[in-house]
Structure 1
Amino acid sequence: MPPFTHRKDPVNLRASIALFSHPPQCNPCQDFMETMAKDGAAQEATVTPNKDVSEDNLKGYTVIYVLGGPGSGKSTQCAKIATYFGFCHLSVGDLLEAEVETRSEYGKMIEDCKKEGKLVPSDLVVKLLQQAMQRSQNKKFVIDGFPRNEENRAAAESFMKIEPDFVLFLDCSEEEMKRRLLNRNQGRVDDNISTIQKRLKVYFECTLPVINYYSAEGNVRKIDAERSPEEVFEAIKDVFFELKEKHGETRMTL
């Protein structure tokens, strides 16, 4: 299959397991920020992922990556997936913002990267993600904003031994992403036109190759994300129901 640029046909999903029960809801970003703030941990925490702990604690997890450009609706759809299907939603963006709020050395580094439209170092991103997953009572995760580049992907596989059950790709044109980013008013430092251009450049040069990597493995389902949030989620539900039916189960009614 040719690599994704925009609006290609979806590819098939490989089977995944245990996607549809409803474990306890979690707020890992808030929990992580509170924990890091205790006893000066935010200033003293090491950036290097803990390989031994991650291999023990992250086995058997169901992980779905949700990828797409800035403004494609990743966080919106992940929140819907978490509520409807009982996943824990981990937003790498929220974890990074939580670290910024601690005013730690790493928080300042993250803030500088965002202002310049650059990617945060992979070792720090993996550390935050790893700790949030370990603190959750859930074993099913829908993760948005990760991996954003090949370095992220390799770090997750190497240190956390994580490979996604599948990748949900929210496909949105550059023009529509720009329109959404300029129209939203979230007070984010990375929502000005100059930084938006940098973020889009990073997406096309760094994240799209990751999507193509998983596509080559037959592990991507592409969704047209230019529709309304409700229409997009209906298409996403069909993806999850398709997976469930592949395991010989009946269509879910909630």
Structure 2
Amino acid sequence: MGSVVDAANKEVNGTSSAKKPTVIFVLAGGPGSGKGTQCAYIVEHFGYTHLSAGDLLRAEIKSGSENGTMIQNMIKEGKIVPSEVTIKLLQKAIQENGNDKFLIDGFPRNEENRAAFEKVTEIEPKFVLFFDCPEEEMERRLLGRNQGREDDNIETIRKRFKVFLESSLPVIQYYEAKGKVRKIHAAKPIDDVFQEVKAVFSPEAEKVAGQWHLY
């Protein structure tokens, strides 16, 4: 009799009992950290699907949907797009994809994003991949690849870095307390950075996950 009840409960709570996808949050202090390049390598070498919160919002706007128009208007008015809107786009992308391993890039940006994501999706990330790159190095990289708009670039980096310290750092600290942060020293050359990334994704790293700490 119990087994019938259990089966019925599983049927009713299909979303809860179904195997949840593996999610890794990818965060960095600002543009020029190299996380986009590293995400592409992770996709190629480890079979993850890369989901960028920003790209999903832009695609929704481009689609001309009612939701997209709402997002566009909010951005134009300088308002922050509600967490639930971004989370629903991420959730839809996860559900429509045949993969079960995802890199979520550029989200959560703050504690409210984080709490809402876990509540709405009932998914807790496997870990947070944090690309730690000094502000000066990000400036140097962006100035090297974008000649002619140096002031704008530096201003953008400094604003993003300030926002990171105020909003995103608490997210890193929250997951660090749970032993879920993998810090990558992103100021090194691309191949050297990927060696660090590969070490994080190797089976051996899984066994000693509890020993990783921010420092």
State the TM bucket, normalised to the shorter chain.
0.7 to 0.9
Structure having greater relative contact order (Cα 8 Å, sep ≥ 6): 1
1:206 maps to 167
Q: 1:193 to 1:102 in 2, by over 3 A?
A: farther
Q: 1:202 to 1:235 in 2, by over 3 A?
A: same
Cα displacement (A) at 1:92: 1.1
Q: Distance in 2 between matches of 1:232 and 1:131?
A: 31
Q: Name which of 27, 38, 51 aligns with 1:67.
A: 27
TM-score w.r.t. the length of structure 2 is 0.76
Task: Kindly indicate whether residue 95 of structure 2 is the aligned counterpart of residue 163 of structure 1.
Answer: no
Q: What code does the residue aligned with 1:177 have?
A: M
Q: Which has the larger radius of gyration?
A: 2
Q: 1:219 to 1:196 in 2, by over 3 A?
A: same
Q: 1:120 to 1:200 in 2, by over 3 A?
A: farther
Is 219-228 or 96-105 further displaced after alignment? Answer: 96-105
Cα displacement (A) at 1:109: 3.6
Kindly provide the CA deviation profile for residues 74-128 of structure 1, in whole angstroms up to 9, marking residues without a partner as x: 2221111111001111111211221232343234146437xx6x75321211111
Q: Is the 8 A contact 1:75 1:91 kept in 2?
A: no
Q: Distance in 2 between matches of 1:231 and 1:245?
A: 21
1:11 maps to none
1:101 maps to 62
Q: Distance in 2 between matches of 1:207 and 1:54?
A: 33
Q: Distance in 1 between matches of 2:174 and 2:109?
A: 12
Cα displacement (A) at 1:182: 4.3
Q: Is the 8 A contact 2:138 2:157 kept in 1?
A: no
Q: What code does the residue aligned with 1:208 have?
A: L
SS in 2 for 1:211: helix
1:221 maps to 182
2:200 maps to 239
Is 221-230 or 196-205 further displaced after alignment? Answer: 196-205
Q: 1:220 to 1:134 in 2, by over 3 A?
A: same
What does 1:187-202 align with in structure 2 at a 5 Å threshold?
192-202=153-163
Q: Is the 8 A contact 1:67 1:144 kept in 2?
A: yes
Q: Which has the higher helix share?
A: 2
What does 1:74-113 align with in structure 2 at a 5 Å threshold?
74-103=35-64, 104-109=68-73, 111-112=75-76
2:107 maps to 146
Cα displacement (A) at 1:245: 6.3
How many residues were matched structurally? 188
Q: 1:209 to 1:240 in 2, by over 3 A?
A: same
Q: Distance in 2 between matches of 1:182 and 1:55?
A: 47
Q: 1:174 to 1:193 in 2, by over 3 A?
A: closer
Q: 1:54 to 1:91 in 2, by over 3 A?
A: farther
SS in 1 for 2:131: strand
Aligned-pair Cα RMSD in Å: 2.8
Cα displacement (A) at 1:158: 0.5
Q: Distance in 2 between matches of 1:78 and 1:97?
A: 19
Cα displacement (A) at 1:243: 4.3
Cα displacement (A) at 1:194: 3.9
Percentage identity across paired residues of the two chains: 54
List alignment gaps of at least 5 residues for structure 2. 1-11, 147-151, 209-215
TM-score w.r.t. the length of structure 1 is 0.65
List alignment gaps of at least 5 residues for structure 1. 1-51, 186-190, 248-254
Q: Distance in 1 between matches of 2:70 and 2:41?
A: 30
Q: 1:195 to 1:244 in 2, by over 3 A?
A: closer
